[in-house]
Structures are given as structure tokens and as C-alpha cells.
Amino acid sequence: MISCVQHPKTTHRHRIINGGPGLSISAAIQRNCETDVTNLYRDIPTFDDFAKVLDGTVYHALPDDWWVGTSDIVGSTKAVEAGRFKDVNMVGASVICAVSNALGHSDYPFLFGGDGASFACPPDKIDAVRNAMATTATWAAETLDLELRVGLVQIADIRSANRDVRVARYAVSDPVSYAMFAGGGMQWAEDQMKHGQNLIAPAPSGHRPDLTGLSCRWSPIRADGTDVILSIIVAPCDNRARFDSTVNDLLAILDDSPRKSSPIPASGPGVAFPPPGLHLEAEATKHNEGGYVKAWLKAFYIALIAVILMKTGWKLGAFDPRRYRDYTGYNTDFRKFGDGLWMTVNCSKARAEEVEAHLRAAELQGDIYYGTHRQRTAIMTCIVPSITSDAHFHFLDGGEGGYTAAATAFKAKRKSGQSIANA
């Protein structure tokens, strides 16, 4: 459940954004409520130290009249077991893409969860958002034979259930930040959806969302040497202080590695031709391109040009392949917080053992619930509004099970214990 947002460029990779000189957050929110409600989220200051996701002061409550959207694939575990990793991730990211296009921008908070996504949005275009979710569910069923469950609930209703929705903005580069969620409300909304509440019915057969910008052209990212790609989900039990201590220690373990354990190589992800997700791109855009063949040929041509530029380093107009590859690394969501910690990391087998031993001890003490999954690769699904802008978004998951597999163990533990406490 993570969000991306464009904001003006600066000369530094990271910065702090304020609502303006002398403008408090509450004042900024009030101003935007009176003028352009859609930009409210952008007035929340950003931070670039990931450990601050545990600091409650960086989170800001969203208004009661905003909405929370949730989605997940029914039977995703079976799909993953059948090797449909890319299909599952594509559908999960498609919700974010469809809602972005319905809103006309990416300035809203969202979180990618592997087999689904969650987000919050203002009420001004909620009918368009609802339609985007309904048509995405129909597209997933009729194109990829995956049942996508989608739901919407107003934040006022979440608060009436003694949960909250608070959001922070973690800056991964100058043009991109990802939303972090706290308060327990996002998890509550997802749980309600899975129990049949607040569901949105799929659109009539043949209706399709606008998935412009959705792609998955990068090759699978292999773990370094004999390392593993470790998918991690950690959520609190009743004692938030002990959860924070566990996560701080976990981050210390993982940060003591190159690139803070990010799976993305220093030179950026690799490319191959044809890209493994070419057919998925064609399926996502065929209704706009006049059929599958035309969509596939267009995606094929674009991918061919892209791989030539990536391999040679040649520039084409305003497109700089080296810069694009660099920002792909910066803009990848390999770690995030959505009422709990979500990470896809590269680590040695010894460090993976250390991580899992640390989490196991904390779980035995009743401090956390957790789930992990080891694999050799990570895969990326992307939203690229423009190849000439640095504001492109990359969602990372494990390549052989990922968050879906980690969640299987996590959910079983959580079901047998207490519900996630308010974050």
C-alpha cells in the first residue's frame, strides 16, 4: 500500500517539502479544502530517512470525507503456485494505474501489496475512481482469468470503527515519494472487504479501464551471488513500542549491507529482448490500440528501441537511458509501511537467517506477527507516465512467491492471534 507523487525538481536528490513559508499542515489542508481538494496530499512534508516511518509525528490524518480503496486477488496463492507471478503483480499494480488515470494525476497516496493495492483519495472524483476499480476487476477476470476483489469505504466510517488513516510521505528521489500508512484503518478496510463489506461489483462484460503507463519490461532481478531475495511482512501485536524496537533492530541488520539491502543493482536493473511482460502490456492496452496484435506490435517496437538505447547508452531526444536507469533504482519501493512493514531485500543466506531468527524471537515474545519468503529473484512492475520525466514508479516483489507467499504464513499467525493494533 504505497504512494507516489510528483513534485518540483531540486538540485538535490532528497529534500523536505513544506506547504510554503510559514504555512502549517493544518492551514495547508484547510486551504486546499477550500480550493483544490485533490492537492491536499502534496502539502504533507516529505522525509528521506526510512527509519522515520516509525515516528508518529510524520503522519497526518486524512479528512473524514476522503475514501479508502482496497483490492486483492482471490486465489492469489494458487496463481503464484502455478507460476503466474507476473500476472498477479500486473493486476495488483493495475488498480493504482487505473485510479491514477481516473484522477488525472499520481498525487494521491497508494500502496502496492503484490496481489493487490490500497489507496486513499479525495471525494471530488470518487465516481470516476469507483468506475476505474470496477472496470479493472472486469479486465482482470476477462483478460487474465484472475478474480480481483475491490472495495471502497469512507474514512469517517473507518474512524467510527475506532481505527484511523494517517499518511506520511517518504521521498525516494526529488520527483517521487511513496505514501506510508498508519492508524490501522487501511488494514481494517481490507479485512472488511475480504468479509464481503463495501465491495464494488465488477463492471459489465467488455468494459475496460485506462491502463496507460502500466508496463513490466525489466528482466527479473537475480540475487547477488549465492544471496537470496527475502520478502518480509511484519505487523504489531498489542505493544507498539516493542514492535518499533523490533523493526529498528531489523533495519539496522539490513542497512548494514550495500544499498541498504535493495535488490536493485548499482547499475540499475537489466533488460532483455523480448521483455518477459510484453504480452501483459499488450493485454492491458489492446482496447485502446485496436486489438491485441496492434497493441503487441506497438509494445514490441517500443521495447526494441528501449533495449537498444539501454544497451548502447545512446540518447534519443529528451530520453537519457542512463538517467532513466538510475531513477528506476531510486524510485523502486523495496521497503514501505502500511499498518506494518513490507520489504523485498537482497541479503546473504547468513543475514537471512539472522533476520528470521530476530523476527522469530520477537514473535515468541508476543511483540509482532511476521511472514517471510526466500527466492532467487525479484520482479518489477512499473507505471511510467512519461519516459522523459524522472517521476516513474516501480513496484518490487519477490519473483517466486514474494509477498503473497510471505502473507500466507503471516495471515495464519494473525488469524490465530489478535488483530493488528492501531499503528
pLDDT digit string (tens) for 87-133? 999 999 999 999 999 999 888 999 999 999 999 999 999 999 999 99
Strands in 281-421 per DSSP E: 335-337, 341-347, 368-375, 377-383, 393-398
Rounded distance, CA 358 to CA 344, Å? 17
Residue 171 identity (one-letter amino acid): A
Question: What 3-state DSSP class applies to 402?
Answer: helix
Question: What 3-state DSSP class applies to 38?
Answer: helix
- In terms of DSSP bridges, do strands 166-171 and 117-121 run parallel, antiparallel, or are they unpaired? unpaired
342 neighbors 333 (Cβ within 8 angstroms): no
- Give the three cell numbers for residue 8: 518540483
pLDDT in tens, 337-363: 999 999 999 999 999 999 999 999 999
H runs (alpha helix) in 145-275: 155-160, 185-194, 240-255
When the pLDDT of each residue in the chain is averaged and rounded to a whole number, the result is: 88
CA angle 51, 55, 61 (to 5 degrees): 125
47 neighbors 58 (Cβ within 8 angstroms): yes
Nearest CA to 395 among 128, 182, 118, 121?
118
pLDDT in tens, 190-244: 999 999 999 999 999 999 999 999 988 899 999 999 999 999 999 999 899 999 9
398 neighbors 231 (Cβ within 8 angstroms): yes
Going by pLDDT thresholds of 50, 70 and 90, the confidence category of residue 39 is: low
Does the pLDDT at position 17 exceed 80? no
Going by pLDDT thresholds of 50, 70 and 90, the confidence category of residue 413 is: confident
H runs (alpha helix) in 223-347: 240-255, 278-289, 292-312, 321-330
117 neighbors 110 (Cβ within 8 angstroms): yes
Residue whose cell numbers read 459489465: 204
Going by pLDDT thresholds of 50, 70 and 90, the confidence category of residue 417 is: low
- In terms of DSSP bridges, do strands 110-112 and 67-74 run parallel, antiparallel, or are they unpaired? unpaired
If one counts every other C-beta atom within 10 angstroms of the C-beta of residue 416, the result is 8
